[in-house]
Chains A and B, each alone.
Chain A
């Protein structure tokens, strides 16, 4: 079984709340749930929808086909009836003839007026629609009731209960949804997972400037500020944010900033400052379609090249593409260790899709998170050399103020071992080479991409980050149809780990890059680092995430 419920309406009609209530009810029943939001950059009006996909097996992405549409306005039916499955149902809250003739037999019309009259509350009609959904799938109303109690209080809860009963009575069961055996899970989105990873890693300072879709990392951390504790600063701009975070890191705390492409453009000079001062920093870049303001609330993977190259001059960095919420948690925690070990900026590259989708996943294992500060605990006699030349390029790092008589000089100018400004050619050369050696030392840390698919793929997909979910589901489905397809999904992406790529690309006859951008930025990176050229390029850049169904269709049409 694999069902999707779409709830659509205008911004401000409460789709988010309804979607979350339905998802939590399904989670309570033990289903695997995937909640995906599609919203416009406006507070009221327009057309927004959420899709709640659920199954008795893990669901890793959204599906195109919809089993039930909950239409809070007429436009929802117009826009989405084409995605309705053959036996799909529509639930509408509007009376009148807005339902197309071919759908009328499959439509349940709930009367908002009746619900309002009987419940005495104008805002509970959506709850009736949710209970109607549960009934269609033969699921108990009690699951929704539990959710209502946790979401609403007092008379509102009573009104919701009344509405829920009305909706439940209005439908007959059409689909058979059998929940799996109970399993321990959490229901979390990518940004929340990043924030939890930061908290687990001991991040004590986050500075940022609000920008969709990165803002919710900061919002979550701010809610936990006193409890964690962590200081969350809303800076006057992204330039201030990254410089504050660098100052905090210099002073000895684990520090982080986050933004989207436009804000990151402002941070570029700060990235370079992290590079030359060798100040550890974790930077989350949640991509959205550009250029400039682009599509603020939609998704894209078009900032890979930008993040890999941002910042003038040459210095080592690590870029991790986050693939799914669990990956986001563990990689974020790992990012702090590597930033401090190699004294470099580490990037968490995510996007709107991953930032905002919410998924049931196994609880994170905090025993797998270790904190390795890589700080020097003792210093030699004499002047402290912040940039002491060593074989690895890594200099013992101390925190200012903690060693009487020892001073920490860091400088955005080229500097000598002590951190003092210099223009001496020999010193310049040795410092450039020192920074390059750190980059070389970093290489053994790189994690190879995750391979999905049959043992001997003829077609090898290469992709990265949030396309993990749709690609995994598509590849496994194609394998079941005896297509010899495999996929390498890159997490660590710069420097590019190449061992698995070279191994699998030798077996495969076709190399296909699948990306959420228009220019194939991963393909370029692969060609640059390995000389391997992709035979096919599957690219999507309409601001909407690749679905598993689209991946399958594109592969069959263009590659297989």
Chain B
């Protein structure tokens, strides 16, 4: 239902293809219709995703997919809002919005295509590029510590923190559906390859490392979640790292909670006259 015929601008073998497919299947599994869904994206290769799917689209500015998506959800709580962008857009340019989106805990789903490199601008380091990894710009290797989005989200109090993998679209589709169904801000950091610019984190590299969390992992246990969120290198866990019920923003904001979607409120100038009368 969410598929459209549109030529993509991605390189052959790009990890984004798998994520796009996972997203379509995830949405299909929820019985949503395209007009009920809005995808807010920024700028980057990942941010082109909404162009290749049948759903409403707000393809805004680099780094600003979260605030635009938040505005959309606040204006119409009936819409399913998915914020979709890459690691540079979400954790670099939009880092401040990421921090505060977690704190706000609005009912949106944040899909971060994390290929650990800047694709659109041709291969510079992203916030998640490994330390010492060489790029054309960082020719002596990256000097900064990589940002761990999962531990950061946990520290900020996120209620749904997961890691997906582009090459397993069935599991990814299920994960995306679970995130959309979660009431509150849900983060899925989705590992993907960039065959053109990231020659380190290849499909082979990932396949030697990723594994799905077993039933023994209790996502409600913050202690376990922190350990799994920290795990990186030889073994990389996939799936729901942490999940608990939280007070979703819209549920406790009285303006949103006590009213129909703001977009459906009647507008009558005279209704505001009583406020003016307080100045008499």
CB within 8 Å of B: which residues of A?
184-188, 192, 196, 199-202, 204-205, 207, 224-231, 233, 235-237, 239-241, 243-255, 269-270, 273, 277, 333, 363-364, 366-367, 369-371, 373, 399-413, 419-421
Contact = CB atoms under 8 A, between A and B. Distances in A.
Contacts of A410: 57-59
A273 B65 CA distance: 12
A236 B94 CA distance: 11
Contacts of B58: 247, 250, 277, 410
B36 A411 contact: no
30 contacts: A196-B276, A199-B272, A200-B269, A202-B268, A204-B75, A226-B258, A229-B258, A229-B259, A229-B262, A231-B74, A231-B75, A236-B96, A236-B97, A236-B100, A241-B67, A243-B64, A247-B67, A247-B70, A248-B72, A249-B71, A249-B75, A250-B68, A250-B72, A270-B61, A371-B268, A400-B72, A401-B78, A403-B35, A409-B50, A421-B48
Interface in B65-102: 66-76, 78-79, 96-97, 99-100
A156 to B, nearest CB: 22
A311 B43 CA distance: 17
B60 A412 contact: yes
Nearest to A373: B267
Nearest to A203: B267
Nearest to A251: B75
Given A226-B255, A236-B100, A401-B56, 7 more contacts: A188-B276, A224-B275, A236-B99, A251-B263, A400-B35, A401-B78, A407-B55
B96 A407 contact: no
A240 B96 contact: yes
Nearest to A399: B263
Nearest to A188: B279
B215 interface: no
Contacts of A231: 74-75, 253, 255-256, 262
A339 to B, nearest CB: 14
B31 interface: no
Which residue of B50, B253, B280 has the most chain A CB atoms within 10 A of its CB atom? B280
A204 B265 contact: yes
Contacts, number: 213
Contact of A255 (B35, B71, B258): B71
Given A200-B269, A201-B269, A236-B96, A192 B69 contact: no
Given A244-B71, A245-B71, A251 B79 contact: yes
B221 interface: no
Interface residues of B, number: 60
Interface in B248-280: 253-256, 258-259, 262-263, 265, 267-273, 275-277, 279-280
Contacts of A363: 276-277, 280
4 nearest interchain CB pairs? A247-B71, A202-B267, A251-B75, A244-B71
Which residue of A188, A243, A364 has the most chain B CB atoms within 10 A of its CB atom? A243
Contacts of A250: 58, 68, 71-72
A192 B73 CA distance: 28
Contacts of A196: 272, 275-276
Which residue of B71, B256, B262 has the most chain A CB atoms within 10 A of its CB atom? B71
A273 B59 CA distance: 10
Contacts of B100: 235-236, 240
B33 interface: yes
B212 to A, nearest CB: 34
Contacts of A269: 61
A244 B263 contact: no
A411 B47 CA distance: 11
Contacts of A226: 254-255, 258
A386 to B, nearest CB: 10
B51 interface: yes
Contacts of A244: 67-68, 70-71, 74
Given A231-B262, A243-B68, A247-B75, A401 B36 contact: yes
Contacts of B254: 225-226
